[in-house]
Structure 1
Amino acid sequence: MKKLENLEKLNEIYKNQVLDLDQIKSNSNHKKMQYWTGFPNYETFLALFEFLEPCAQNMNYWRGNTTLRTENFTKVYTNKPGQDRKKSLLDEFFLTMVRLKSPLLTEDLAQRFSISTGTVSSIFSSWINLMYSDLKLLC
């Protein structure tokens, strides 16, 4: 019984170390959303995500210089190319916004999101290119 209690305590400690969008969006005063992403509230964050989501659903992930030699990887495909996603699109977008706003290193973000550093880099580069492609028309 004591072992179970210790495991439950450890589980709570590890849960608090993971950066979780659900915990941040439920914060009633919006301070955490603004701190981590720069958005004034979850609704604003979600509005931009919903604008980008149709293209993001079919986004191919950045894979370094080899991506430059292939078709534009933000092009809409009939099926999403590449491997299955490790995180939801919303979590990927959140990771990208956190990386833009905070000085966290790739290793730190990988730890906080429970993914590899390579996956952090791939997600970040892919979303940055997608946002450049979709948002440049607004300027």
Structure 2
Amino acid sequence: SAKEASFQAECQALRSENIELKEKASRSSMREDGFQKEEKIRFYTGLPSLARFTELLHFLSASVPQTHMNVLTQFQELLLVLVKFKLNLLEEDLAHRFGISQSTVSRVFRKWVHIMNVRLARFVRWPDREELRSAMPPEFKKCCHELVCIIDTTELLMERPMDLKTRAQTWSKSKQQNTVKFLIGITPQGTVSFLSQAWAGGVPDQHVTENCGILDRLSPGDVVFANRGLTAHDSVGLYCAEVIVSPLSEGRKQLDRRELDPSMELNYVRFHSERVIGALKRKYAILKGALPVTWTQHEEGSEKSMVNKIVLICCALFNLCESAVPLE
């Protein structure tokens, strides 16, 4: 019938288009055989070696659906995602480099971000006390061997929301721009051990600290270092806080200021969180650009927004690389 003939013709046209796209992709400069040099892997992906890239691909590949309709190989798809994270190239740029359409770039990126968010979450983990103390850098041993983490907030720029309420909620007084805010827990060894969900840039740091879930990870007697207004104390510099359970707080954990020996040399500790968060943002340029408003919104069928997934993946990848903090 004419209807069946039309359907067959459409299928043949799609097959021909797919073959043409595969040939175009095979001629692109972003092929596997062009990424055998370590310096190229480091520049485009941020990973330390081809071996680490291969390990990551093997770890993720079983979770990634692959059919004969895929234009790119799994190697190329993961490469595309990591290049986006590392260099924050425009989708149109990536489309030209990989020899595919811009819509395919977007589809591949979202597919892998969803899978990497689930599979890599285990690499942002809360270490046990013995593990922390056995590998404690000397600078931290000098001032506080009970230290569990250093907490700080960081803000990421976002595009100006059209919705007036959202625009007001995300306005950051410190940045004088619309932002989303994360609380990050950093180990003395320089890895990310805790990442909150995204908060609107206008939410006070103290509120984020008390409601983001990090207090649930701490035990009475644990010690944390913090910057700025992360607790009720008015201190604007570094301070040390001990986890307590006050009878007045109905059993809820609180951070109570703990006095430090004034003779301690704290300059190294003072800038620890800034050093690590700065290294994280330098490594992944996607964290420095203005995020699309749609990335800050919850997606249908998912409990997390794109920005929550992206920042978690960046932290996990960061933990898989050499620490920004020397241990000797």
1:49 touches 1:93 (CA, 8 Å); kept in 2?
Answer: yes
Give the total of aligned pairs: 98
Give the gaps of 5 or more residues in structure 2: 1-26, 125-328
TM-score (norm 1): 0.64
Aligned residue number for residue 103 of structure 1 = 88
2:36 matched to 1:51? no
Instruction: Tell me, yes or no, if the aligned pair for 1:19 and 1:112 is still in contact at 8 Å.
Output: yes
In the alignment, structure 1 residue 24 sits paired with structure 2 residue 32: no
List 4+ stretches of structure 1 deviating above 6 A: none
How far residue 89 of structure 1 moved from its aligned partner, in angstroms, is 1.1
CA distance in 1, matches of 2:40, 2:32: 10
- Alpha-carbon distance, 1:138 to partner: 3.4
Larger strand proportion of the pair:
2
Candidates 114, 117, 120, aligned match of 1:135 = 120
Which structure is richer in relative contact order (CA contacts within 8 A, separation 6 or more)?
Answer: 1
Q: Deviations over 1:93-129 (max 9, x none)?
A: 1111111101211000000000000000000011001
Larger radius of gyration: 2
**Higher helix proportion, which one?**
1
Contact 1:37/1:98 (CA < 8 Å) preserved in 2? yes
Q: Determine if contact 1:18/1:111 at 8 Å carries over to the other structure.
A: no
> In angstroms, what is the RMSD of aligned CA positions?
1.8
Q: Distance in 2 between matches of 1:138 and 1:85?
A: 29
| Amino acid in structure 1 at the alignment position of 2:30 | L
Matched, 1:39 2:47: yes
Task: Assess if the C-alpha contact under 8 Å between 2:30 and 2:76 holds in 1.
Answer: no
Amino acid at match of 2:84: R
Give me the whole-angstrom Cα distance separating, in 1, the residues matched to 2:122 and 2:49. Answer: 24
* Aligned residue in 2 for 1:71: none
What is the correspondence of 1:64-83 to structure 2 with a 5 Å cutoff?
none
